[in-house]
Amino acid sequence: MEKGKLMDLQLKDKIALVTGSSSGIGVGIAHTLAAEGAAVIVHGRNAERAQATADAIAAKGGQAKVAIGDLETDEGADRVAEAALAAFGQVDILVNNAGGRHAGTPLGFFDIPPRQWNATYNSNVTSAVRLIHKLVPGMRERGWGRVIQLASAAAQSSSGRVAEYSATKAALVNLTLALSKVLGNTGVTVNTISPGMILTGALERWLDAIAAQQGYGGDRDRATQWVLQDSLKQTVDRLGQPEDVGYAAAFLCSPRGGFVNGANIRVCGGASPSIN
Amino acid sequence: MVSAPLSFDRTPLPVRRAPALGAHSNEVLTELGYDDEAVIGPKIAGVVF
């Protein structure tokens, strides 16, 4: 590269679908890709919230449309794929970020009923597979594409709690490698990002609850320090920002990241105790 | 006489450990709203020891 020339991520003509981008980490990914020039399709289950993210991107000069639907059913995922394809004509980049765990599911291994293993697997793995089936064949035909799975620092370790959730995240890391092999030499790369503690709205509300519980008088910073110092074992002394995940995603989506394939990129402030 | 335990860099070893976060975070998780618990709950419970 020429000295003094910035690394252009070359995302200007690319079209990206980011699932679960009406809140949290997905918002950071959507904003970062849009800031790099990609046209972004914001996905969520709630039309109003998804539109708010799209409007925020447009307000910063980016291009964004929405695709609404529930990825936990075949029909819902079909609707999302159709809306995404209709938005800008095709999808070059699929970021499988949506997922989680149904509220109210117990944390302990022997408290989690077997049916909940299926439900969490459906949320985190099968949802991603549904969109891969719908959107990746087009990428392969055109000879260029990017697929990114959002796993979790929990994929590389285990606290012993939410075991079924961690297992689905580990499954995503493995699914990524499988798909990268299947798509070998097609121009479509497949990678995983495993985020650690990222300061989303939901995490802020949790920190506020911790601050109240610990008698910190609502001091979120003090709650953050408590979490950082006493439990997270990070090697970077701050919580992550949604954009931290967005930067990693932008690189993997870029033609500049084209030699990275089948990888798991940890964006966890060094919290993972293991190698990949 | 027994000397105070020292680590290799001569920094005294910590006298007390902070309480484990796990138990507290479990309690707080269930107080979060439905959406928050679904999205952030497993991350916290899976990553925080």
Mean pLDDT of A136-153: 98
Could A24 and B39 be called an inter-chain contact, meaning their C-beta atoms sit closer than 8 Å?
A: yes
CA-nearest of A82, A78, A262, A101 to A166 is A101
Which residue in chain B is spatially nearest to A210 when comparing CA positions?
A: B28
**Which tens digits make up the pLDDT trace of B8-47?**
555 555 444 455 566 666 677 777 888 888 888 888 888 8
Note which residues in 18-47 of chain B have CB less than 8 A from chain A.
Answer: 18-22, 24-29, 31-47
Res A187 pLDDT > 90:
yes
- CA–CA distances in Å: residue A14 to residues A26, A139, A231, A263, A265: 17, 11, 40, 21, 22
Contacts of B31 in chain A (CB under 8 A): 209
| Whether A41 contacts A15, CB under 8 Å | yes
How far away is chain A from the Cα of B31, in angstroms, using its nearest Cα?
A: 8
Tell me the one-letter amino acid at A146: R
Secondary structure of residue A122 in the 3-state scheme: helix
Would the CA dihedral through A107, A111, A116, A121 be positive or negative?
Answer: positive
**Which tens digits make up the pLDDT trace of A27-80?**
999 999 999 999 999 999 999 999 999 999 999 999 999 999 999 999 999 999
Secondary structure of residue A43 in the 3-state scheme: strand
Strand partners, A148: A95, A191
**Which tens digits make up the pLDDT trace of A92-120?**
999 999 999 999 999 999 999 999 999 99
Q: Which residues contact A194 (CB under 8 A, 6 or more apart)?
A: A150, A151, A152, A153, A155, A156, A169, A173, A264, A265, A266, A267, A268, A272
Secondary structure of residue A67 in the 3-state scheme: strand
Tell me the one-letter amino acid at A51: Q
Q: A7 pLDDT band (50/70/90 cuts)?
A: confident
Output the average pLDDT for chain A: 95
Most distant CA atoms of chain B, gap in Å: 58
Res A129 pLDDT > 60:
yes
User: Lowest-pLDDT range, A140-154, A185-199, A212-226?
Assistant: A212-226
Q: A218 pLDDT band (50/70/90 cuts)?
A: confident
pTM of the model: 0.91
Kindly report the backbone phi and psi dihedral angles of residue A242, in degrees, each rounded to the nearest multiple of 5, phi listed first. -50, -35
Cα distance between residue A209 and residue A154, in whole Å: 22
CA A120 to chain centre: 16
Res A232 pLDDT > 90:
no
Catalogue all structural domains in chain A, each as residue range(s) with its CATH number. Answer: 15-198+240-267 (3.40.50.720), 199-239 (no CATH)
Mean pLDDT of A173-202: 97
| Whether A214 contacts A228, CB under 8 Å | no
Cα distance between residue A122 and residue A48, in whole Å: 25
pLDDT value of residue B18: 52
Residue A274 near chain B (CB below 8 Å): no
How far away is chain B from the Cα of A57, in angstroms, using its nearest Cα?
A: 22
State the DSSP H helix or E strand holding residue A242, giving kind and residue range, or none if neither. Answer: helix A242-253
Percent of chain A with pLDDT over 90: 87
pLDDT value of residue B15: 46
* Highest-scoring range by mean pLDDT, A134-143, A203-212, B10-19, B36-45: A134-143
Q: In what order do the strands lie in the sheet with A145-150?
A: A63-68, A39-44, A15-18, A93-96, A145-150, A188-195, A264-267
- CA–CA distances in Å: residue A177 to residues A24, A44, A45, A82, A151: 26, 26, 28, 26, 13
Residue A229 near chain B (CB below 8 Å): yes
Cα distance between residue B10 and residue A128, in whole Å: 52
Which residue from A24, A102, A196 is facing B47, i.e. has the nearest CB?
A196
Interchain CB contacts (distance < 8 Å): A and B? 104
Res A122 pLDDT > 50:
yes
User: Lowest-pLDDT range, A19-28, A186-195, A201-210, A261-270?
Assistant: A201-210
ipTM: 0.81
Tokens of A202: 């939901």
Burial of A75: CB neighbours in 10 Å, binned 0-12, 13-18, 19+: exposed
pLDDT value of residue A5: 72
